[in-house]
Amino acid sequence: MSTATAPALAFRHVSKTFNGVRVLKDVRFEVQRGEVHALLGENGSGKSTLVKIVSGYHEPDPGSVVEVHGMQLEFPLKPGATPERRLAFVHQNLGLVREMSVLDNLGVRRYTTKALWRIDWKAERIRARQLLARFGIDPPLSRPVSDVVSMADRALIAIARALDDVEHGGDAGVLVLDEPTVFLPETEAKRLLDAVRTLSAHGTSVVYVTHRLDELTGFAKRITVLRDGAVVGTVDGAIRKSELVGMIVGRQVTATARIGRKPAAMGSVVLKAKAVSGHRVADASLEVRAGEIVGLTGLPGMGHEQLPKLLVGAARTTSGDVTIAGQHLARLNPRAAIRAGAVLVPGDRVQDALAVDESVTANVTLPNLGDYFRLRLDRRHERRVMHQLIEEYDIRPAMPSTPVRTLSGGNQQKAVLAKWLQLQPKVVLVEEPTQGIDVAARVAVHERLRAIAAGGAGVVVSSSEYEELADLCHRVLVMRDGAIVQSLTTPLSKDEIARACYLT
């Protein structure tokens, strides 16, 4: 087969073994030129490992073959070899340096230079604005990413940089997107998908790793599903969602019915906030009762992303009062909130919820580490409790000493839930609870939140996924310009929530 007619990307007999465990097993499929090819599978199915092999982060087992436009990659890949092969990547962690400016993040791989290797900063700024203009964002280029850019904008910056790599010198490259919309609300995700669709129409091949099955309709030409490290099959993108879910999990998963009723055991008020103000939030007031799951949502930047942090003092409030389980918090800070019985599960697991280089045990037992001291740390007791939590929350692999960074997104989220819910809190605030996790893990997280509510806790879920809120919540509060402007009650629907966000 000539390079002109060869697939854009081909995997042939690709396997990978870690410490005697085969995580990829004879993976074989092809990505055709100019197609959007989705790669699906549960967390831990091998998707990210496969992407890391193509990017050169991992070396596959002997006998594995990866071809780009008919040319075989030689492992281990040399640093910088993937751009030469016209391969560009956006990984889940985005690969941005938070302390560096937006301009430096965009240009770090390929600065425009003048004589004597001096950087042409004027040309750099022009190029950066052109790259970002396609996504409709214009952040201050000289400011650090961590200071001025939202999670959605960070993802768009990373994708713009990757597109620049793929388009540099032609339009026939391969762009690999690993959960590119994981931090994006529905409106911005649509913008991204439109940009990727246009790129594909001009000849660029796209490998699209996602858990959001609704994105694939009319977008992915073909879909390959991995399960337990092996290819289940490659199917047409028009496949029905129910069939696709069955391929992913290997069993029939039925959607949980809409609640359509008030909590069975409505209790007393466990969270009361009055006129809370802070970053992007103005005079927000709400009450949550024991046994109730309350959703927070709105269009991007309307305040629902910040309110949970303000309620527990994880972000600075400028005014307002918060009462948790009858205890008024005179000084609003995370320690006081935890003592009163409120916990926050942040949306950004890697940055805000986990010490990723530490073990599962070190992360999960941190909030109540004092319970394991008997003059010194009782590691036997700690291990015993940890094994119970791993079994209860189905954290995989079931190895307490495993570094958290090696876990899939879904299992990281289970670890975060175990970390905080073991405290038996009276109030649980959760940001984007199923962000970047697969169908089965999503069901498990929802079941866990329902269980803690049924046990008498009040649960607040901040999410930009309207369907998730409709499935999970008894009540949804819609925010606009930092204020709560509407309260939707059951029965809820995705369309009703979306309409309220856009029209209220």
SS3 readout for 24-69: EEEEEEEECCCCEEEEECCCCCCHHHHHHHHHCCCCCCCCCEEEEC
Indicate if 178 and 291 belong to the same structural domain: no
Using an 8 Å Cβ cutoff, are 342 and 427 in contact? yes
Positions of E strands within 179-280: 205-209, 222-227, 230-236, 269-278
Tokens of 364: 């999960």
Domain with residue 279: its CATH number is 3.40.50.300
Domain closes at, from 370, 399, 422: 422
Indicate if 243 and 99 belong to the same structural domain: yes
- Positive or negative torsion for Cα 215, 219, 223, 229: negative
Q: What is the CA radius of gyration of the chain?
A: 24
Using an 8 Å Cβ cutoff, are 168 and 106 in contact? no
Any domain includes 28: yes
d(CA 422, CA 461): 18
DSSP class of 420? H
Any domain includes 71: yes
Any domain includes 349: no
Indicate if 371 and 470 belong to the same structural domain: no
Tokens of 247: 């391929």
Tokens of 8: 């854009």
Entry pTM:
0.64
Type of residue found at 259: I
Cα dist from 245 to 213, 255, 304, 340, 439, whole Å: 9, 11, 30, 41, 7
Q: Dihedral angle at the C-alpha atoms of 355, 358, 363, 368, nearest 10 degrees?
A: -110
Positions of E strands within 60-197: 65-68, 71-72, 87-90, 174-178
Query: Scanning the structure block, which residue is given the tokens 């919540």?
Result: 473
Any domain includes 346: no
Indicate if 128 and 270 belong to the same structural domain: no
Tens digits of residue pLDDT in 465-484: 888 999 999 999 999 889 99
Tens digits of residue pLDDT in 482-499: 999 999 997 898 888 888
Residues facing 87 on adjacent strands: 174
Q: Which residues contact 471 (CB under 8 A, 6 or more apart)?
A: 255, 256, 258, 446
Indicate if 83 and 227 belong to the same structural domain: yes
pLDDT at 167: 65
Using an 8 Å Cβ cutoff, are 347 and 304 in contact? no
pLDDT in tens, the chain (504 residues): 556 688 999 999 999 998 888 999 999 999 999 999 999 987 678 888 999 899 888 999 999 999 998 989 988 887 666 656 678 888 777 888 888 999 998 887 676 666 666 788 888 899 899 888 877 788 889 888 887 666 678 888 888 888 777 665 555 689 999 888 766 666 777 878 888 888 888 888 999 998 778 888 889 999 999 998 999 999 999 998 888 888 887 755 444 444 444 666 678 999 999 999 998 899 999 999 999 999 999 877 789 999 999 999 999 999 999 999 999 998 899 999 999 999 999 988 888 999 999 999 999 999 988 888 877 888 888 999 999 999 999 898 889 999 999 888 889 999 999 999 999 999 999 999 998 787 888 888 999 999 999 999 999 999 988 889 999 999 999 998 899 999 999 789 888 888 888 676
Any domain includes 275: yes
Torsions phi, psi of 365, nearest 5?
-90, 0
d(CA 269, CA 376): 39
Any domain includes 351: no
Indicate if 66 and 100 belong to the same structural domain: yes
Indicate if 266 and 212 belong to the same structural domain: no
d(CA 346, CA 352): 6
- Positive or negative torsion for Cα 44, 50, 55, 57: positive
Domain closes at, from 249, 278, 294: 249
Domain closes at, from 180, 214, 249: 249
Domain that holds residue 144: 9-249
pLDDT at 256: 45
- Identify the CA nearest to 57 among candidates 76, 43, 74, 41: 76
Indicate if 214 and 278 belong to the same structural domain: no
pLDDT at 263: 64
Using an 8 Å Cβ cutoff, are 179 and 92 in contact? yes
pLDDT at 148: 67
Burial of 498 (0-12, 13-18, 19+ CB in 10 A): middle
DSSP class of 351? I
Cis? peptide before 397, omega within 30° of 0: yes
Indicate if 296 and 440 belong to the same structural domain: yes
Indicate if 78 and 178 belong to the same structural domain: yes
CB neighbours (10 Å) of residue 424?
12
Give Cα 336 distance to the centre of its chain: 29
Indicate if 332 and 260 belong to the same structural domain: yes
Phi-psi region of 375 (alpha: psi -120 to 50; beta: other; left: phi over 0): left
- Positive or negative torsion for Cα 331, 304, 281, 148: positive
Q: Do strands 205-209 and 174-178 pair parallel, antiparallel, or not at all (unpaired)?
A: parallel
- The count of structural domains within the chain is 3
d(CA 497, CA 490): 11
The H or E element containing residue 165 is: helix 151-167
Indicate if 126 and 244 belong to the same structural domain: yes
Q: Where are the alpha helices (DSSP H) in 396-487?
A: 409-421, 439-454, 466-472
Q: Which residues contact 296 (CB under 8 A, 6 or more apart)?
A: 304, 307, 308, 460, 461, 462, 463, 476, 477, 479
Any domain includes 347: no
Any domain includes 202: yes
